[in-house]
Structure 1
Amino acid sequence: MNYKEIDLLTEIAIAYYEQELTQEEIAKKFNISRIKVGRLLKKARQEGVVEINVKYHPIFTSQLEKRLIEKFGIQRALIAIDEYNEDEQRKQVAALVSSYLSNSLKDGMTIAVGQGRNIAAVGEHIGIFPDKNCKFICGIGGVQRIGDPVDADHICRNLARKFNGINETLYAPAYLENKEFRNIFMQNGLIKETLDRARKADVALVGIGDMNENSYMVQLGWFTPKEMTDARINQGVIGEIAGYGFFNLKGEPVDTVMNNRVIGLSLEDLKAIPCVIGIASENAKSMAILGALRTGIIDVIATSASNINTVLNLANT
C-alpha cells in the first residue's frame, strides 16, 4: 500500500469507529459506494490499520472454563483475553501460568520443564514470585539456539531463580537423527537418572504445537517440512505435545517417521505426571488444542479466549 491508500483507510476507520458515522454517511462524505466503504473497513483490519481486541469479562471466561472442565475433565483452564499482537498474547498467557504456579506450587515439588517460546515466556515473566523450595528439571535435552533462548535448561534456570528454587540440567542433546544413537543415549546412566526424576515430577510445563511447516522444530532441522506435511495429510496428525509427541484429532498417539528422535519425556511419561500444564497462546492452534485435550494428558490448559471458544464449538460438531 502507498501512503495515499493508508491515509484513506485511516480516515474511513476514524469516521466509522471513533466518530461513529454509518457506512452510508461515510459513503456520502467520501463520494464512494457503501459497498466500497465496507470493503475498505475490512481492508483496514487486514492491513493492521484497525486492531479489534475483545475484552472478555471475568464472568465470561469463568463460564468458558466451567464448560471446558465439564467437557474434558481437566483441572483448570487459564484463559487470557485476545490480543492482536502474537507476542503480547504470549505474555498474557504466560502471566496467567506464572500466577497459577505461584499459587499452586508447594515446597518439595518437582516441575518438569519443556522447551519453546510459550514456556520461555513463563520464565521471562516479570512479577513478584514467592519463594518455593522446588526443583525445576529439564524434561528434554538441549537444543541449538537459533534466536531467543527457548531451550529447557535456560527456562529451568529462569524459573528456579524467580522462585528461589533449584534446577537440574539434562546433559544430552534433545535431538539425534539416528534412532539407534538416540536409544544408546537414553540408556546412559546420567541421562536415564535425570529423566527418571523428571518422570516422577509433580507438575510438567509443555507446549502444544500444530503441524506447521515453519514450526520451531522444522527451523531447528529436527523435522523437514515434507515430513510434517506427510504426517498431517497421510496420517491425520493434528498436533504435538512438547515438540515431538504426535497425535490425531481424536487424541490418539500417531507413530510417524519423526518419532524416536528426541531425548525427552514421552507422551506416556507425561500422562503419569499429576499436573501437566499445556500452553498454546497462538490463535491458530485451536485444532491442536482440541486433540491435545483428548489425549488425556493435559490437566491445565493455558491459551486465549478465542481458542477456547473454537475448541468448544469444534468439540460439539
Structure 2
Amino acid sequence: MTPNDTNLMVEVSTDYYLDGKSKVEIARDRGISRFQVARLLAQAREQGVVRIEINAPGVDGERGARLAARLGAREILVAPSGPDPAATRENVAVALARTAREQITEGMTVGVSWSRTVEAAVRHIGQLPECDVVQLVGALPVEGSGNSLALISTFAQMPGVRTWPVWSPLLVADAATAAGMRRQPEIADALARADHLDVAVVAIGNWSERTSTVFPQISVEEQQAATAAGAVAECSGRLFDAAGRPVRTSLDERVVGVTLEQLTGTPRVIAIGYGSAVAPGLLAAVNGGVADTLVVDDAAAAALEIIAPS
C-alpha cells in the first residue's frame, strides 16, 4: 500500500471504530464506495492496525488464541462442552451469537448457511443493524429442526434487515434440475450476492452419517464415491479434502447453494463445529481458506490441539 492508502485506512478505521460512523456515512464523507470502506477495514484488521479483543463469559480466550496461532486462523472461540449434544450445541450457539453481533455492522452483506447450531444462535443474536442477509443454501429439512428457509424468514422479521432467499431444496434430483433452479431470477440473484459478502456464517460437518446432514440424504454409491475422492468434510453441501481443496463428485452438480470458491473470497467466514470428530474438517477448512474464524467446543478444541501443526 502507498502512504496515502495507509493514511486512508487509518482514517477510515478511526471513523468506524472510534467515532461510530457507519460504512455508508464514511463512504459518503470520503467520496469512496462502501465496498472500499469494507476492504480498508478488513485490511486494517489483517495488518494489525486495528485489534479487537472479545472476552465473552464462558469462552476460553487464551486457549482459543493459542490454537488460532497454531492453525493460522484469525480467531478461534472455545465454548464449554455440555453434558449432551443439545447442551453443547447451545453453548456453541451462544458463542456464535456473540461473535456475530460483534462482526456484523451496519451496511454489511451477510451470508448465512443453515445448521442446528446456526438456527439456535439466531435466538441469541437479538436485533441486527441494518444489513443484507443472503441465504447461502437451499432448504434441507431435518427432523426436529427447521431449515434455511425458516431461518431466512426469521431475519426478514428484523427491522432494517433485507433478505435474499433461495427458494429451492439444497439437493435436487439431478444436475439439470439444479442448473434450472440456479437460473431462476430470485435464486440467481441471491447466489450472485455470495460473490460480495462481508461476512459469512457456516457450519462444518465431518463427512460421515453422524455429523453431516447431507451424508444421509444421498445414495450409498455417492457416499462411497465422495469418500474415495478424498472428502473429509462438508460445508453447505460442498465437499473438501484434508487440504481444504474442493472435491468434485456428482453430488456437487445437484447442490443449490454457495460454492467453496465464494467462501474463500469472503473477507471473514465464521465456521462452527463441535465434537472431536469434526476436528479434521475444521482444520481442513482453515487450511483451504474456507473459514478464518472458528467457534468450537472443548472436545473439538482438544482434538484440534492434537492434530494441529506444532
**TM superposition score normalised by structure 1:** 0.72
Q: 2:247 aligns with which of 225, 229, 254?
A: 254
SS of the equivalent of 2:263 reads helix
1:124/1:58 CA distance change after superposition, 3 Å: closer
CA deviation string 1:75-115 (max 9, x = no partner): 21121012221011011011011111222211111211111
8 A Cα contact 1:106 1:134, kept in partner: yes
Residues 1:115 and 2:114 aligned together: yes
Shift, 1:314, TM fit? 0.7
Rounded Cα–Cα distance in structure 2 between residues aligned with 1:293 and 1:99: 21
Query: Which residue is equivalent to 1:72?
Result: 71
Query: Which residue is equivalent to 1:179?
Result: 175
Rounded Cα–Cα distance in structure 1 between residues aligned with 2:128 and 2:244: 37
Query: Which residue is equivalent to 1:296?
Result: 289
Q: Which amino acid aligns with 2:110?
A: I
Residues 1:237 and 2:231 aligned together: yes
8 A Cα contact 1:211 1:229, kept in partner: no
* Structure 1: unaligned runs, 5 residues or longer: 1-56
1:283/1:312 CA distance change after superposition, 3 Å: closer
Rounded Cα–Cα distance in structure 2 between residues aligned with 1:312 and 1:279: 16
RMSD: 2.5
Rounded Cα–Cα distance in structure 2 between residues aligned with 1:143 and 1:247: 20
Larger radius of gyration: 1
The total of aligned residue pairs comes to 254
Query: Which residue is equivalent to 1:138?
Result: 135
Shift, 1:249, TM fit? 1.5
8 A Cα contact 1:90 1:282, kept in partner: no
Provide runs of 4+ in structure 1 moved above 6 Å.
57-60
**TM superposition score normalised by structure 2:** 0.74
8 A Cα contact 1:213 1:228, kept in partner: no
CA deviation string 1:111-157 (max 9, x = no partner): 111112122111233x6x355112222111233454321x2221123
CA deviation string 1:43-79 (max 9, x = no partner): xxxxxxxxxxxxxx98993232222332333221121
Shift, 1:302, TM fit? 0.7
8 A Cα contact 1:240 1:292, kept in partner: no
* Structure 2: unaligned runs, 5 residues or longer: 1-55
Q: Which amino acid aligns with 1:169?
A: P
Shift, 1:299, TM fit? 1.6
Q: Which amino acid aligns with 1:271?
A: T
Rounded Cα–Cα distance in structure 2 between residues aligned with 1:296 and 1:58: 28
Q: Which amino acid aligns with 1:143?
A: L
Shift, 1:235, TM fit? 2.3
The alignment-based identity, stated in percent, is 23
SS of the equivalent of 1:142 reads coil
CA deviation string 1:24-48 (max 9, x = no partner): xxxxxxxxxxxxxxxxxxxxxxxxx
Spell out the pairing of 1:15-34 with structure 2 (5 A cutoff): none
8 A Cα contact 1:136 1:167, kept in partner: yes
Rounded Cα–Cα distance in structure 2 between residues aligned with 1:200 and 1:270: 10
Q: Which moved more, 1:107-116 or 1:59-68?
A: 59-68
